[in-house]
Structure 1
Amino acid sequence: MSIRDWPAAERPREKLLEQGALALSDAELLAIFLRTGVAGLSAVDLARQLLSDFGGLRPLLEADLPGFSARLGLGPAKYAQLQAVLEMGRRHLAETLRRESALESPQAVRDYLKARLRHEPHEVFGCLFLDSKHRVLAYESLFHGSIDGASVYPRQVVKRALAHNAAALILTHNHPSGVAEPSQADRLLTQQLKSALALVEVRVLDHFIVGDGEPLSLAEHGWL
């Protein structure tokens, strides 16, 4: 049966307009993105099949082009559309964060860093550069490493902080394993960077580690 033959209240698009996006399942949201199904499968059926094949929404969203294009009815055009949607989401979070003080919007900081780093297959270290009122000036991914770690150079962090005329910053990196618990090396690096940046009067406000759940704040745990 085509989706057009379903009761209006059960059609994903109509359901979203009536009840809001939160009321939809992953398959229903994906069906709206797909718009059409393939032979023998409605858009919702195709969405369910894709979620099953990929193992969930997150692996689907993080798939590379070859992996994405290997699935039923999907190709470069759909992949490009999906990447555009994801990037719009990241930029929306960035704009939301720039309008407020980072210290007054801890959840906005967490949401933005998750969007930037959680999908990375290897370790990435970055900084949120802040002005004197703790508003975001810029985000930069500074170092990329293997799945086991990244080499971080304090001199480069200081250089970029000065280039942005930052008064403070928030450090961040991801753990590709999904476990956000800081290692001893993470805590030592945080102290090294804090000391180096203090020499040029730039404060380190926090260091967030991004894993599968909510990013972990070293400041909240008294490790800064």
Structure 2
Amino acid sequence: MVAMLELAPAHENVLETLTVGPRGPRERALEEGILMLSDADLLAIVLGTGLVGCSVFRLANEMLERVGGLEGLGRLGPSAIAEIPGVGTAKALRLLAGLEIGRRSLMRSIRPRPAVCNSAAVAAWFTSRLSWREYEELWVISLDGRNGLRSARRVAQGGVHGLGVTPRDVLRVALQDTAAAIILVHNHPSGDPAPSDADVAMTHKVAEACHVVGVPLLDHVIVSSTGQYVSLLDLGILPPAV
């Protein structure tokens, strides 16, 4: 649960909004550009209103301080954000929707195309999607005959004990996408991207199953919450597909 904000005693009968003063964040965004605004300014615009005795600017600043900035805010679910005084469900969903729009925009702007050439390109794309996740997720990247991106689909989402996935789960996606080859990607919320024994064992099982059906597993990339990544191909754990 998010810590409760300490708000000033109520002394007015109206909510304080973004219209206070001639040079609020909305005006500066229009005159100087949205890039000139601070994180708190951007958050204040999304919130729109504060509480009686607590301006929206103060609410935005205290929210960011309490949750650890925008990164911390993005890790919270709607219920936790809605519990913050002055937010509520509607504002919480608006905040999360804005963060998700930003993530999707970033993913699509750096999507490796037309060809997936190396593990760094895969990691750059998926770090923005997975680095903030609380639990592990396993994704399958389906490639065409020229290693061009055909699709990227999540096949498993874990809990506190990690992922539960079988080669059949992976192959189902690969065959549905008529993939010529695939790459596995998953995240380590702990911050350490080093593969576990279970990761290595699962990778070898999937590689063997892929070889049988003629859809080679080219790599397994693990990204972390710190932005680091490892490639099982680069580490020599997964032999090059032939």
TM-score range, shorter chain: 0.7 to 0.9
2-structure distance, mates of 1:101, 1:82: 34
Tell me the CA shift for residue 157 of structure 1.
Answer: 0.9
- Distance change (3 Å), C-alpha of 1:94 and 1:138: farther
Cα pair 1:98 1:137 within 8 Å, conserved: no
Residue number among 147, 160, 179 corresponding to 1:147 in the alignment: 160
Q: Which residue of 1 aligns with 2:3?
A: none
Percent of residue pairs identical: 36
> Kindly tell me: are residues 205 and 152 of structure 1, through their superposed partners in 2, closer, same or farther at Cα, counting changes over 3 Å?
same
Q: CA deviation at 1:68?
A: 1.0
SS of structure 2 residue aligned to 1:143: strand
Which of 212, 215, 219 is the aligned partner of 1:206? 219
Q: Deviation at 1:57?
A: 2.0
Relative to structure 1, the CA distance from residue 104 to residue 206 in structure 2 (aligned partners, 3 Å threshold; closer, same or farther) is closer
Are 1:131 and 1:137, in contact at CA under 8 Å, matched by a contact in 2? Answer: yes
- Equivalent residue, structure 2, for 1:136: 149
Counterpart-to-counterpart distance in 1, 2:17 and 2:106: 36
CA shift, 1:19, in A, is: 5.6
C-alpha distance after superposition, 1:133-183 (max 9, x if no partner): 323222222122222221220122112101100112221112222222222
Q: Normalising by the residue count of structure 1, what TM-score does the alignment of the two structures yield?
A: 0.81
One of 219, 223, 230 as aligned partner of 1:217: 230
Counterpart in 1 of 2:114? 100
Which region of structure 1 is more displaced relative to structure 2, 128-137 or 85-94?
Answer: 85-94
Give the whole-Å Cα distance in 2 for the aligned partners of 1:4 and 1:130: 51
Secondary structure (helix, strand or coil) at the match of 2:213 reads: coil
Q: Which stretches in structure 1 are left out of the alignment for 5+ residues?
A: none
Matching of residue 119 in structure 1 with residue 132 in structure 2: yes
Give 1:196 deviation, angstroms: 1.8
After superposition, the CA RMSD in angstroms is 2.9
1:41 CA displacement: 3.1
Query: What is the CA-CA distance between 1:49 and the residue it aligns to?
Result: 0.6
Distance (whole Å) between structure 2 residues aligned to residue 203 and residue 117 of structure 1? 24
Larger radius of gyration: 2
Contact (CA 8 Å) 1:93, 1:111: kept in 2 or not? no
Residue pairs, 1:182-201, within 5 angstroms: 182-201=195-214
Q: State whether residues 75 and 134 of structure 2, in contact with CA within 8 Å, keep that contact through their aligned partners in structure 1.
A: no
Partner of 1:44: 57
SS at match of 1:172: strand
TM-score, scaled to structure 2: 0.76
Aligned-partner Cα distance in 1 for 2:213–2:129: 27
Tell me how far 1:90 sits from its aligned partner.
Answer: 3.9
Shift of the 14–124 alpha-carbon distance from structure 1 to 2, 3 Å rule, reads same
